[in-house]
Amino acid sequence: MLRITLTRGLVAKRDDQKRVVRALGLGKYGSSVVHQDSPTIRGMVNKVHHLVTVTEEKEAAAKAAPKAAAKAKAAK
C-alpha cells in the first residue's frame, strides 16, 4: 500500500500534472490518499514526483486508518 501526500501546490503547474494529481484522488495541498501498489500508480507518481511524497504502509495499518476515522466520527 502506498500513502501519497500532496506536498506542493498546483499553481502554475502544467495541466497534465494537475490532471494526474486529481486522478490520484488528491485535492488540496496536504491531502493524502492510500492506493494499492501497482505499476499504474507508480507511473502516475513518477510523473508528479516533485509534487508528492510517497510512503509505503503495511496492509493492516492502511485498513485500520479508515476504521479509526469512522469510529471517531461516530463518537462525536
- Say yes or no to pLDDT of 62 above 60: no
> Taking all residues of the chain, what is their mean pLDDT, rounded to a whole number?
88
- Say yes or no to pLDDT of 74 above 60: yes
Report the CATH number at residue 35. Answer: 3.30.1390.20
- How many domains are contained in the chain? 1
The residues pairing with 5 across neighbouring beta strands, listed in sequence order, are: 32, 53
C-alpha cell belonging to residue 33: 490518499
Domain enclosing residue 66, as ranges: 2-75
Structure pTM? 0.76
Structure-model confidence comparison of residues 61 and 59, the more confident one: 59
- Say yes or no to pLDDT of 59 above 90: no
Q: In the structure, how many helices (H) and strands (E) does the chain have?
A: 3, 3
With residue 43 as reference, give the H or E element that holds it. Answer: helix 39-47
Which pLDDT score, from 0 to 100, does residue 58 have?
86
In this structure, how many other beta carbons lie within 10 angstroms of the beta carbon of residue 3? 16
- Say yes or no to pLDDT of 39 above 60: yes
